[in-house]
Amino acid sequence: MTANQPKSATNGRHKQPTSPAITARSTHVSHHHKPGPSSNSNTTTPPLPPPSSSSSSSSSNKRSVPKLTDYAAAAIELSSSAGSHNAPAPAAGMYWSRTITYGRAPSRPLRAHSANMVGEMMYVFGGCNQKTCFNQLYILDMDTLTWSKPHTFGQCPPPLRAHSCNVVEYLTGKQKSYSLYIFGGGDGPNYFNELYVLDVETLTWAKPRIDGIPSSPRRAHVTCLWQDKIIIVGGGNGTQALADVHVLDVSDPNQLTWSQMTPKGPAPLARGYHTGNLIKDKLVIYGGSDGHDCFSDVHILNLSTNRWCQIELDQTIPRLSHTATQIGSYLFIIGGHDGYKYSNDVLLLNLVTMTCESKKIYGTPPGPRGYHTAVLHDSRLYILGGYDGSHVFDDLHTLELSSHAYLTQITNFDIDV
């Protein structure tokens, strides 16, 4: 994979001319019926130009061009891909395509939202466009690709962006239940440290009482669920980037408890808009920004030993506002900002060798973007929304893993630190 790297890069830090929104000085931030196809398309992207007129047509008889629906855009893409100018992808090759959806899709483009899988459903909450933050919940049935906007009950969170959302499973007897735990985030200049919980079965929101000293307000942090605890790392509070680690014990939903971790070892520099992936008992932190520099370093927090360590990669590729999805022994790192521009690259970080790899990917990739979400379902990686510095997106793209689907079955490996 080719990566454009700033010449001023030193020690995993890369100067960026424009500060991402971790501080208050910046205005940029940076988840069953089947009616017709969704007509929700990116309102900031102009429609395709009309076909050229015949020689007998008058230039004064101009027709307005209707906005393309997702269905029409995908149909055009599929039909054009059949042309002789596009070589067909081999059956074994990974492949990008734009995804047609149905039903009541999000009515506005989204960035810095959350997207989580519970069974066959993707739950999308919050986020913002270029002006407004939202607190709507949308659900996408991944089997039928049908959107719904359900009515919820209880005390709903305020409009949020750059919050975290974790799925917590509870077992009562033989009955499983699931809840979404939404923490932090912000709305414009406001930063929050409240926790809201959604019961997925009843679609009821609650703002539970929590014992202990809470995390300070923040957004652009990362979280993971480990041994019935939500681990929270970093983020920003509007004044500075953060490097602290907090723990929310969710083992008993009726008695939640805050505490703070003080890991040993060399901690990563304060940052937000990084990614965090839990690999067994190790939390892998990649990239991020402190509002001035874009980072390319990798740090691992061993939760069993409560110790930080830094990993040296074979190459340095700075990223912030990207996504990182574990697929077997790899992290698929998609898009984000490198300190100079937005990217749509797919970087494969081998967690065994800690080397960066690239694979040939066919089809039409999503445009360069950050602040999007990525979820893995049925050997496909779905990318929703995002922002490219000018436009906020509402599109959904699919990366077919094809012959690489076997990667999801690789679980017997360890990160050597």
pLDDT in tens, 4-36: 433 333 444 444 434 343 433 333 333 333 344
Q: Cα torsion for 119, 122, 123, 127, to the nearest 10°?
A: 150
Query: Which amino acid belongs to residue 279?
Result: I
329: CB partners within 8 A, 6+ apart = 350, 351, 352, 407, 410, 413
Q: Tell whether the model's pLDDT for residue 218 goes beyond 60.
A: yes
What is the band of 412 on the pLDDT scale with cuts at 50, 70, 90? confident
Q: Structure tokens of 143? A: 């089997």
Residue 253 burial by CB count (10 A; 0-12/13-18/19+): exposed, middle or buried?
middle
CA distances from 34 to 73, 144, 145, 365 (A): 19, 8, 9, 27
Query: What is the phi/psi pair of residue 124, to 5°?
Result: -115, 125
Residue with tokens 């920003």: 236
Residue with tokens 């602290």: 244
Q: Tell whether the model's pLDDT for residue 38 goes beyond 80.
A: no
354-400 pLDDT, tens digit each: 999 989 999 999 999 999 999 999 999 999 999 999 999 999 999 99
Short-list 138, 166, 142, CA closest to 378: 142
Q: Tell whether the model's pLDDT for residue 174 goes beyond 70.
A: yes
Q: Cα torsion for 319, 321, 322, 328, to the nearest 10°?
A: 100
Q: Which of 19-33, 230-244, 295-309 has the lowest mean pLDDT?
A: 19-33
Spatial distance between the Cα atoms of 315 and 339, rounded to a whole number of angstroms: 16
State mean pLDDT over 209-218. Answer: 97
Q: What is the largest CA-CA distance in the chain?
A: 78
* pLDDT at residue 25, rounded to an integer: 32
Beta carbons of 106 and 126 less than 8 angstroms apart: no
Spatial distance between the Cα atoms of 23 and 95, rounded to a whole number of angstroms: 37
Query: What is the phi/psi pair of residue 22, to 5°?
Result: -105, -25
Q: Tell whether the model's pLDDT for residue 78 goes beyond 80.
A: no
What is the band of 37 on the pLDDT scale with cuts at 50, 70, 90? very low
Q: Structure tokens of 69? A: 């629906």
Spatial distance between the Cα atoms of 294 and 20, rounded to a whole number of angstroms: 9
Short-list 231, 164, 226, CA closest to 196: 164
Q: Tell whether the model's pLDDT for residue 217 goes beyond 80.
A: yes
* pLDDT at residue 365, rounded to an integer: 97
* pLDDT at residue 87, rounded to an integer: 55
Q: Which of 207-216, 317-326, 405-414 has the lowest mean pLDDT?
A: 405-414
How, if at all, do strands 210-211 and 256-261 pair? parallel
Q: What is the mean pLDDT of the chain?
A: 84
For 296: left if phi > 0, alpha if psi spans -120 to 50, otherwise beta; the answer is: alpha
How, if at all, do strands 94-98 and 361-363 pair? parallel
Higher pLDDT, 57 or 230: 230
State mean pLDDT over 86-99. Answer: 80
Length of the chain (residues): 417
* pLDDT at residue 62, rounded to an integer: 41
3-state secondary structure of 259: strand
Query: Angle at CA 125, nearest 5°, toward 322 and 35?
Result: 110
114-153 pLDDT, tens digit each: 999 999 999 999 999 999 999 999 999 999 999 999 999 9
For 76: left if phi > 0, alpha if psi spans -120 to 50, otherwise beta; the answer is: alpha
DSSP 1-62: ------TT-BTTEEE-SS--TTBTT--S-------SBP----TTSPPPPPPPPPTTS-TT--
Q: Which residues of 286-310 are buried (b: 16+ CB within 10 A; e: fewer)?
A: bbbbbbebbbbbbbbbbbeeeebbe
Q: Tell whether the model's pLDDT for residue 242 goes beyond 50.
A: yes
CA distances from 140 to 98, 103, 118, 381, 398 (A): 15, 9, 11, 14, 14
Residue with tokens 């703070």: 260
Spatial distance between the Cα atoms of 7 and 12, rounded to a whole number of angstroms: 12
